[in-house]
Structure 1
Amino acid sequence: MISFSEFDNLCMKVQSCILCTRMCDSLKVLNRSSGSLNAEIMFIGEAPGRLGADSSGIPFHGDKAGHNFEDLLKIADINRSNIFVTNAVLCNPKDEAGNNSTPTKQEIINCANFLAEQIILINPKIVVTLGRVALESLNYISEHKLSLKDSVRSSNSWFNRILIPFYHPGQRAMLHRSMANQRSDYQFLSEELKRLNKNHFKKNLPASKLEVAAIINYLFQRKNTYTYFALHKLFYLIEYNSILIFGRRLTNSYIIRQKDGPYCTDLHLTKIKKALPFIGSKILSNTNILLFKTSVELFDTYEHLELEDGVKRFIDQVLEKHGDKSNIALKKTVYFSRPMRDILMAERDNKINLYNTPIL
C-alpha cells in the first residue's frame, strides 16, 4: 500500500519541474485531491482545463468536462473518492490567446515519467484514458498500438493491468461520442471492475464456509465499536454481497426477517460474547446496544479466526461503502436489497407479516 509520504514526494518533484517553457508558471495539478492512493481505477485525461483543474487544482472538476465526468461516474455508481484522476500533462497548455491548446509531443514526453510514476505508485487494476491524447501518451510508457476510434470501450492488456480507452467527457468530444454512449461506456467500466474483483476474490476464497466469529473478529479489527443493530445489518450486507459477487455465502449462518430487518441468530449477544470474550456491551436504549472492544491483548490472541487476505479485501469493500452509515441509513440500505424487497412485497400482497422467515 502506497504511503502519503511517497506520493507527496512525487508531488514535490512535479512542483519543481521546469521542462516545459510555456507552462513553467502554470498550476501543476497533482495533489491529494487527485484521489485515492489505493484506487482500483485510474483515469487519465489530456491536461488540466483552463476553467477546470487549472483553476480548482482538482482534476476534472469545475468546468463542463468536469461536470460531465462527475455525472458519468454517478450514473455508473463509481465513487470519486475511490478512484484516482490525473492527466498526461500536469499543467494547462495555453495558446497565445490564453485558451486551452493541445500539448505538444515534447510536452507529453516531458511528463511521461511523472505519469509512469503515478501508475506504478497507485498500481490500479484498470487504467482508463479519456481522449486520444491521453491514450497515445501511454505509448511513451509502454507501447500498446491502440487507436481511440477502434478500441473505445474495450479491455486491453497493458503494462500488467487493464487499459480501457474512453472519449473525453468535454463538449467537443460529444460530437464524436454522444452522452448516451458515454453513459454506456462508464457502466461497462463498472461491470468490468466487478468482473475483475469477482475473479480475484474467487481465487482467494476458502473452500469451506467460515465461522461467523471470524467475520465479527475482523470487523472489530477494523473498528472498535458497533451498535448491535448495525452489526446485524453489516453482517447481512457482507453475506448478501458475497452471493452477488461469488455466487455463495461466506458462512452457514441463519439470517431471518425480524421487525427491524435482517437478524442473524448466530449474532445473539450471548453467542457473540462466548465466542469473542473481548467484546463488551452497553445498553444505550430499549432498542439499542453498543458493542465495543475491551481488551487488545485478548483480541490479539484469536489467530485461529484470522481471515485470508482475499476475504478481508472483500469485507473492506463492503465496509467502505456501508461501514460508517447511521442505523437509519443501514436499515434503508438493507430494505432496498433484493431479498428484503421480495419479503416486503410478499407481506404486502398477502397482508401478513413474515417475521422469522429466512432471508438468505
Structure 2
Amino acid sequence: MKGMFNQFGGQFVPENLKNALDELEKEFNTAVNDVSFIKEYEYYLKYYVGRPNPLYYAENISKDLGGAKIYLKREDLNHTGAHKINNAIGQVLLAKRMGKNKVIAETGAGQHGVATATVAAKFGMKCKIFMGAEDIRHQSLNVKKMKLLGAEVVSVTTGTMTLNDAVSEAIKYWVDNVNDTFYIIGSAVGPHPYPTIVKRFQRIIGDETKIQIMEAEGRMPDYIIAPVGGGSNAIGMFAPFIGDENIKLIGVEAAGLGLKTGKHAATITMKQKGVIHGMYSYVLQDKEGNIKDAYSISSGLDYPGVGPEHAFLDETNNAQYVSVTDMEALDAFLYLTKKEGIVPALESAHAVAYTKKLAHTLQKDKIIVVNMSGRGDKDMDTVLKYLE
C-alpha cells in the first residue's frame, strides 16, 4: 500500500477519494521539485510568516534548573502565533497550483484554523473550518479571528465535540466536494500523501534549528523535545535529525488527568494499533476496538491517534515518547511565563514540563532544544480558570 512507514500509514479511504489523493500526490511531487514553487514558498515564509524565527537561549530557566543548557525554537513568533502557518502556506500554494478555489480545514486549538483562514484570505479563496463545539467554547479568541478573516466556522456537535470529530466531519465534507475543494490537513496525519506533505512543509523548523544551533554552540544538541498530538510540529523539528544516534528525539504526549484514569491523549504510550482518519497508526481504543475519546486540557493535543511516522519512529526506537499531565503542563506554563517572560501555548507547555524533569539530571555541557510550537494567548481563559 502507498505511503507506508513499515506497517503504519497507508490510504484507508473511500474509492472516490483515491483519485483525488493520487492527483494530490502527483502535484505535490512535481511542485517540490519545481524551483519556482519552492522559491514562492520560501518567499512567503520569509516575508509573510517572518522566518527564520530565533533559536533563543533560555538563560534563566537553564540556570534555575541547574543542568543542561536549554534553547527554545520560537515558532510562537510566527505570523498567526504557531508553527501551523508553515504548512498552511505550502498547502494553499498547492491548492492554487491545482486550480482549487475553496479550502477546508479541521482545527482543535484553533491555530491551524486561524492559519488556514489567514492564507485563504491572502489568496482570495473561500474557507470553511470544522471545529468541535467544545473546542469552540475553549478557544473563543481564535474562533473570532477565523470569522474576522472571512472563514465560515462549522461547529461539530458529534462525539466529544473535539478535534477527532472535527477531522471526521471535514473528511465527510471533502468526500462530497472533492472536485473544487482542497483539504488543508493541519497535522502529520490522514491518508497518504498528507503525512509526507505536512512533514515537508514543517521541516523548515528542524532545518533552521540545525543551522542556528551550529552558530550558537558549534555542535548539534543532545536532546530535542517537542509536544505531540497528531505530530506536525514534532515531525518538522525531528525531520533533519532522524537517524543521528547522538541526538535523542523526545515527543511529549498529553497524560491528561493521569494514564490510569483513562482521561488522557497518550496514544503512543498505549501502543494500540488501528485505523483512524484514513491511516493505520497507534489509536486509543476501548475493549471492543472502537476509537476511544481522548482528553487533554490542551485542545491541540486532544486527539486519539498520532501521525504514522511517529508510530514508526517509536517502533524502531528512533524517537522516545513520554507523557505529562494537565497539572504538570499548567505548572510549566506558569514557570516559563514568570522565568523567561515567554507565554507558551499549553501544547508547548507539555514539552517545557518534560524539559523541567530532564534538564536538572544532565551535566551542564549538555544541550536541549525545545520546540516552542505556539504562543499562549489562546489559552488565557483556561489558565485563569485553573488559577482561580
Short-chain TM bin: under 0.3
Query: TM-score, normalized by length of structure 2?
Result: 0.25
Q: Which has the larger radius of gyration?
A: 1
Q: Per chain length, whose mean CA-contact separation is higher, i.e. which structure has more relative contact order (CA < 8 Å, sep 6+)?
A: 2
TM-score by length of 1: 0.26
